[in-house]
Structure 1
């Protein structure tokens, strides 16, 4: 069946929401994925959503004179959902950067073409671990299913009250910033204790060159306890990745 001109407009609206979501939501927004593949994924998802949810049903009640407004709404909706997913990865990256700063790895931060930002060792480790866990736990399937569900809850062209979700946005920001500190606090506390011990040693033995010993000791201590705490980190990251779906569903419900 060849879609009519009006159905082509509907497909374009679906594509705008899908494309903006794919462009901003990890893991689909990863800069290591070629742009052509992202476009292909957006088109395939849009056609799948159209033929599964819209084909053979009554056309949505859309006014052709307001098509530009509908297009802007769909772009904003896709970007908003992708932003919620970005918050999860931002909290994980912040946790890694806190550990890097305390160990001293932040001085060796280099540009990461995959994320488009400067990252040190632990920041990359945390981010890549979270990315791998998304695929291991099949969260990417749940992510796509929730995105499809958004077309049922928020039909094409429907106006959504963003102002009503202001309190939710503040609470979500607060939660994921707290998550970042919870992920990093065990290693950070150990390294702070290391600094305190080195300070006491310098007071006890003034002739000891603490500056020369402090950095290697902090690096070894940070790496050792990071390796020891890796199972706990993975368990906490699985919980963080799992929390992503309820928050995304809450956002869709608020926008409906």
Structure 2
């Protein structure tokens, strides 16, 4: 390997590694860092033979700008996918706040944050669904296809015109919309339960509200969860389609 192949490998390795730091599933703490680095190195080594060798120009600082560009491309591409994946955790937080599970927090190794019970459960279901449908293969395919859209020698004209930041804001908007769509059926049912229990408390004031109401809400929560679980997987299908479409759209923006 000559010096140009070494710099080509380095640029590819930086983009893939930064993508692994932010992409869903791969960024989780359940995968050791050594495995992520090793997997990124193997992918970069495979891509080096197919990519055009980059002739480094160190004296005028272009190489350092290209390294910064590779970091930004990997981070933005991973964030475009991760933002929509965060909607699952957001939906779980809404449900846990409504049911009263928000007082019981768990550490989520995928996002490295404290999450509630329902959010963790939804996150596990989403990861299993993504793995069962080979979605992780599409994520890897997306980062490898980025070298066709954004070559190693090219700069990003969309850095300064605001197209990347605007698109990421749209991803955040979809995060809240999909999160509400996942949570609104159960939240609506629990609201009706709250109204009914409030009326019952007025009719029978001798009832111990603190002792009776929480178990009833928890029971209704799990019953509604069983009923709407098939629609949850349908929403996951829409979510993953939007996630991969977002990766394709951000590549078109950066490669334009």
Q: What is the DSSP-based 3-state SS (H/G/I as helix, E as strand, rest coil) of the residue aligned with 2:206?
A: coil
Instruction: Give deviations 1:77-132, integer Å, cap 9, x for gaps.
Output: 10111111111221111001111111111111122334311122211111111111
The question of whether the paired residues in 1 share the 8 Å contact of 2:91 and 2:182 is answered with yes
The answer as to 2:20 corresponding to 1:36 is no
Match runs of 1:36-185 below 5 Å: 36-51=34-49, 53-54=50-51, 57=52, 59-60=53-54, 63-65=57-59, 66-160=62-156, 161-162=158-159, 163-185=162-184
Moved more, 114-123 or 42-51: 114-123
The question of whether the paired residues in 2 share the 8 Å contact of 1:74 and 1:157 is answered with no
Instruction: Give deviations 1:36-70, integer Å, cap 9, x for gaps.
Output: 1011111011111112x22xx4x346533321111
The separation in 1 between residues aligned to 2:84 and 2:107, in whole angstroms, is 21
Moved more, 190-199 or 64-73: 64-73
The count of corresponding residues between Structure 1 and Structure 2 is 250
TM-score (norm 1): 0.93
What is the Cα deviation at residue 209 of structure 1? 1.9
Structure 1 counterpart of 2:19: 21
Instruction: Give deviations 1:166-223, integer Å, cap 9, x for gaps.
Output: 3322222212210000001001111111111111111111222222211111111101
Q: Provide structure 2 residue ranges, at least 5 long, that are not aligned to the other structure.
A: none
Q: What is the DSSP-based 3-state SS (H/G/I as helix, E as strand, rest coil) of the residue aligned with 2:107?
A: strand
The answer as to 2:231 corresponding to 1:232 is yes
Q: What is the DSSP-based 3-state SS (H/G/I as helix, E as strand, rest coil) of the residue aligned with 1:229?
A: helix
Moved more, 108-117 or 16-25: 108-117
TM-score (norm 2): 0.93
The question of whether the paired residues in 1 share the 8 Å contact of 2:105 and 2:117 is answered with yes
Structure 1 counterpart of 2:204: 205
Q: What is the DSSP-based 3-state SS (H/G/I as helix, E as strand, rest coil) of the residue aligned with 1:111?
A: strand
The question of whether the paired residues in 1 share the 8 Å contact of 2:84 and 2:174 is answered with no
The separation in 1 between residues aligned to 2:56 and 2:154, in whole angstroms, is 9
What is the Cα deviation at residue 157 of structure 1? 3.7
The question of whether the paired residues in 2 share the 8 Å contact of 1:22 and 1:82 is answered with yes
The question of whether the paired residues in 1 share the 8 Å contact of 2:29 and 2:112 is answered with yes
Structure 2 counterpart of 1:241: 240
